[in-house]
Amino acid sequence: MITLALMTVGASGMYVVPVVLPAVQADFGVARADASLPYTLLMIGFGLGGVLMGRLADRFGVMVPLLIGAVGLGLGYAAAAMASNIWMFMLAHGFLVGLLGSSATFAPLLADTSLWFVRRRGIAVAVCASGNYVGGAIWPPVVQHFVEAVGWRQTYLGLGLFSVVTMAGLALLMRKRPPMAVAAPVNRHFAASPSSLPFGLPPGKAQVLLCIAGVSCCVAMAMPQVHIVSYCTDLGYGAARGAEMLSLMLACGVVSRLVSGLICDRIGGLRTLLLGSALQGIALLMFLPFNGLVSLYLIAALFGLFQGGIVPSYAIIVREYFLPAEAGARVGTVIMATMFGMALGGWMSGKVFDLTGSYQAAFLNGIAWNLLNLGIAVFLLWRVRPPRRITQPA
């Protein structure tokens, strides 16, 4: 429960920018792509910070990066609230909120949780990771309410104070360290044990493939998550309806992560990734022909239900195929790739909108990236398939 709470609070950094994007764009007088850049830098910082925080967790335990994250998140919100231009706003999000703040509450906590469990590792990591989407369900309507009531700058100051106090207090409860090595379960769906040749490939090449998969799935994922509020505003439904859709999407993502965790315990992380990728692609396709208010609520819910298990499956894949002592750094590296994908996807969708005046091409761009992720998942699954038994003639 402590891990879940920490991830819920830390997730605020990821979901505040999409909600305040229209207000920030109007305040600073910038284009949609430029207004999306703070989110892009935040996610890049989040990803790079995940590697740094993962290494700190491997060496000192998870409490140390969590305390750093509490201070970083608090200072980041305060600095963003006082920004006089879009560039200062961007730096506050990239360096403080992303790199030193929210990053401490994702990859290190996923890796830490994976080291405590064997047979129920999938659902344990899913419960932990669902905090990211619990935060996504809670923060958008809360932030939208306060933005309308007191303005986005005062909202940021309140978030900063709440985050630093809450996270620092919870971090002190995370002193105990997990075992440094956990035996992998013997299961016909998984690798027999973590290997020095994951997927039969050198570890570096295997890591690169997982990172490319992480980038591609999250470029696709970022399109609705980052731009649903602006999309609804452009369609005339208003920012409040978009914030509700984002909240619904991420609330359904909680269900998706829990269900995916149960599925993962049965079929393994790689097959769970393949399933999630295929369903995410279907949901993205549904945005193309439907843009009615009720339709968008339904598609937002389906998108959340379909894609929520994708990112946590990478942590499970790392624990199944790589050595346990490398969990923090390797999970952090793959999560860095997913965050870079979110960053790239958020900016790219805004740029495509600026060039075309429509989000239709941005949805098509997301679908193309999703196909790349699907192809990598199929390739890796093919690499680990059991060899065909050859029947000897009598």
Give how many domains the chain has, as a whole number: 1
For residue 284, the number of C-alpha atoms closer than 13 Å in the C-beta half-sphere is: 29
How far apart CA 246 and CA 237 sit, in angstroms, is 14
Structure confidence at residue 75 (pLDDT): 96
In terms of Cα–Cα distance, which of 217, 243, 235, 228 is closest to 335? Answer: 217
* Nearest alpha carbon to residue 283 among 303, 310, 253: 303
pLDDT value at residue 186: 38
What's the rounded Cα separation, in Å, for the pair 9 and 20? 18
Residue 332 pLDDT: 80
Q: List pLDDT tens digits, range 196-210.
A: 688 888 988 999 999
Has residue 304 been placed in a domain?
A: yes
User: Domain for residue 39, yes or no?
Assistant: yes
Give me the pLDDT at residue 79, please: 96
Taken in order 41, 47, 49, 52, the sign of the CA dihedral is: negative
Helix segments in the chain, DSSP class H? 2-10, 12-28, 32-60, 63-81, 86-91, 107-114, 121-150, 152-171, 203-235, 239-267, 269-287, 293-307, 310-321, 327-356, 360-383
393 domain-assigned = no
In this structure, what CATH number is given to the domain that contains residue 139?
1.20.1250.20
Residue 183 domain flag = no
Domain assignment of residue 245, given as a range:
2-178+192-383
- pLDDT of amino acid 192: 44
Residues (pLDDT < 50) of the chain are: 180-192, 389-394
Q: What per-residue confidence (pLDDT) applies to 388?
A: 53
Length of the chain, in residues: 394
Answer yes or no: is 184 within a domain: no
Task: Answer yes or no: is 392 within a domain.
Answer: no
Residue 312 lies in a domain: yes
Q: Is 23 part of a structural domain of the chain?
A: yes
Residue 212 pLDDT: 96
The answer to whether the beta carbons of residues 174 and 63 sit under 8 Å apart is: yes
pLDDT of residue 354: 87
Q: Against a cut of 0.95, is the pTM above it?
A: no
Annotate 95-164 with three-state secondary structure.
HHHHHCCHHHHCHHHHHHHHCCCCCCHHHHHHHHHHHHHHHHHHHHHHHHHHHHHHCHHHHHHHHHHHHH
Looking at residue 14, its amino acid is M
The torsion angle over the Cα atoms of residues 104, 108, 109 and 110, rounded to 10 degrees, is: 130
